[in-house]
Chain A
Amino acid sequence: MTSDNKKAFIKGNHAVVEAALDAGCRFYAGYPITPQNEIPEFMSKRMPEVGGTFIQAESELISVNMVFGAVAAGARAMTTSSSPGISLMQEGISYMAGCELPGVLVNVMRGGPGLGNIQPSQSDYFQAVKPGHGDFRMITLAPSSIQEMYDLTFDAFDLADKYRNPVMILADGLLGQLMENVELKRDRKPLYLNTPKPWALTGAKGRDGQRILSLLMQPGVLEKHNFKLKEKYDLITKTEKRFELSGMENNPDYLIAAFGTVGRISKGTIRLLKQDGINTGLFRPITVWPYPYEALKEAAKNVKKIFVFEMNLGQMVEDVRLAVEDSSKIEFYGRPGGGVPTAEELYNFIKGKVG
């Protein structure tokens, strides 16, 4: 790899590593779990090359709490895992949210519940957009290509620092393993990387000691802190919603709502429908928290049906219901447990519903 912009033919897991390093991440802790193992493997080689710290943690509890420590000390830091490991990391995510710390996490989702399997899945939508214990939110970005694995991982570090909040990349085993051409943006400047972090613990030079904490025992103090966090979440909700909307120029009769891998597969489905003269739009949220409700509501206004496709039993569909006033227009089709739908399969589902 050179320091120039260049195209590379790499796996999604590899793209995450390159993006993190390009975004100024200099601390990584991770624990082996399929299908994200290439991330700690590549990281163990690449991180020392840029003078950062790689630690193979002894559990996901340890890796996420190491990220807590590294970001508390002012570094850009990341951990990665897959679904069962993310369950363990929820502890650290909640602490980072409470302490307003900017950690970055990547979830290369696999099938569940329990140990599940190692096939691609979107089974953790809930634990990303409704994370952990306590009353908090986590910015969650859902890539659907290897280029987006790179771009959104880079964005995650900027967003984390911008809002002092944990950010998760919600990928899946397919995106982790797939190889594609990626433009590595070596000259992209990370935002906020050099912005001072006066709250970070660097030693109390010339000042009193300061604290990073989420324990607020005095009556009313935690409530006040929660309201302060809400102001931040409201600002993020107002400012950071992102989505891809396509095919609306043809006044489509139908709309597909899908994120990540399924959003991408749906593009093939839309091409198949086009051959039958059926115009179908695509709504693909890129931020699944904050969810782009208004954009979906607008896109769904004049369609006869909204098809929601997921690799789970129906998780994002709950947000679609919140966005769309007439829930009777929603048709859901999901493949849980590591099932990956084909474009034809989704096409057949739609044809079965619309004749």
Chain B
Amino acid sequence: MSTEKTIYKKPTSLTDRPFTYCWGCGHSTIHKLIAEIVDELGIRETIIGVAPVGCAVFAYDFWNFDVTEAAHGRAPVVATAIKRVHPGKTVFCYQGDGDLASIGMAEIIHTANRGENITVIFINNTNYGMTGGQLAPTSLIGQVTTTSPNGRDVKNYGYPIRVSELLAQFEGVKYLERVKVTDAVSVIKAKKVIKKAFMNQINGVGFSMVEVLASCPANWRKDPIESNEMIDGEISKYYQVGVIKDVK
């Protein structure tokens, strides 16, 4: 008699393709959490994802469910249309901070304001990862990037935008929470929060967005541990983790 017991296996909603993200990058963890949630909710055959422009454009290589690309910043309106065509399906977009908070600011604001019943996973790593670490609207004051070599100076670059707090004012927005994925405890918490954002859609609650503070060691010029320390320190000091809005 075998005493072997499966305590963990790769989610069905992931393909067999190994993640190609940089070491310590937040995307791999968050992709996997989404795949686990899709499995747990039994929605692999009814979910449609929208990938952004940025590192996570390749999300469709790793998720084994239907995914479309969208032009830079346009994921929420592509998702809106898919949801309107298939109101019974679960539709979400996955966007980085360059995509969502810069070029796609109009798209996310109006989608939120229309109260579209979709789920948005917003990955905030305070820079443009794919293009090599340029300044994003979310970059911290003083943050050195390839386009702010002397650090973010507010006189020249303005202030970092807290998108979740910005969206909180819209009546159409039902759920906003900011999480991080820097250790086991925060990963388990992040999974619960992301799951709730999907459950909200399934239950018809309305527009829900989870902002995930994610690391970008390659562009931050730090190792993964230092990167997580930076999130636990100065990044989550500016972008406070927790519930921002939760309309019951």
Cβ of B236 < 8 Å from any Cβ of A?
no
How many interface contacts (CB-CB < 8 Å) are there between A and B?
124
Contact A66 B71 (CB under 8 A): no
> Which residue on A lies nearest to B110, using beta carbons?
A58
Cβ of A236 < 8 Å from any Cβ of B?
no
Contacts of A205 in B (CB 8 A): 45-46
Contact A204 B64 (CB under 8 A): yes
Docked complex Cα distance between A213 and B63 (Å): 14
Contact B46 A29 (CB under 8 A): no
Contacts of B81 in A (CB 8 A): 27, 29, 53, 55, 65-70, 72-73, 77
Query: B13 to nearest A CB, angstroms?
Result: 8
Contacts of A213 in B (CB 8 A): 60, 68-69
Contacts of B106 in A (CB 8 A): 58-59, 61-62
Within 8 A of A (CB), among B66-84: 66-71, 74, 77-82, 84
Q: Kindly identify which residue among B15, B46, B80 contacts A69, using a CB–CB cutoff of 8 Å.
A: B80
Within 8 A of B (CB), among A40-72: 53, 55, 57-59, 61-62, 65-70, 72
Cβ of B196 < 8 Å from any Cβ of A?
no
Contacts of B70 in A (CB 8 A): 65, 68-69, 95
Count of A residues near B, CB < 8 Å? 39
Q: What 0/1 readout, one digit per residue, does chain A (206-241) give for beta carbons within 8 Å of chain B?
A: 101111111100000000000000000000000000
Contact A53 B84 (CB under 8 A): yes
> Which residue on B lies nearest to A214, using beta carbons?
B69
> Which residue on B lies nearest to A217, using beta carbons?
B58
Contacts of B82 in A (CB 8 A): 69-70, 72-73, 201
Cβ of B181 < 8 Å from any Cβ of A?
no
Docked complex Cα distance between A29 and B46 (Å): 24
Contacts of B46 in A (CB 8 A): 203, 205
Docked complex Cα distance between A163 and B62 (Å): 29
> Given that A62-B106, A65-B77, A69-B80 are contacting pairs, would A204 and B65 also be in contact in the complex, using a CB cutoff of 8 Å?
yes
Contact B78 A203 (CB under 8 A): no
> Which residue on A lies nearest to B88, using beta carbons?
A203
Contact B66 A210 (CB under 8 A): yes
Query: A32 to nearest B CB, angstroms?
Result: 15
Docked complex Cα distance between A205 and B66 (Å): 10
Cβ of B57 < 8 Å from any Cβ of A?
yes
Contact B48 A203 (CB under 8 A): yes
> Which residue on A lies nearest to B53, using beta carbons?
A215
Contacts of A61 in B (CB 8 A): 74, 106-107
Within 8 A of B (CB), among A64-89: 65-70, 72-75, 77
Contacts of B77 in A (CB 8 A): 57, 62, 65-66, 69
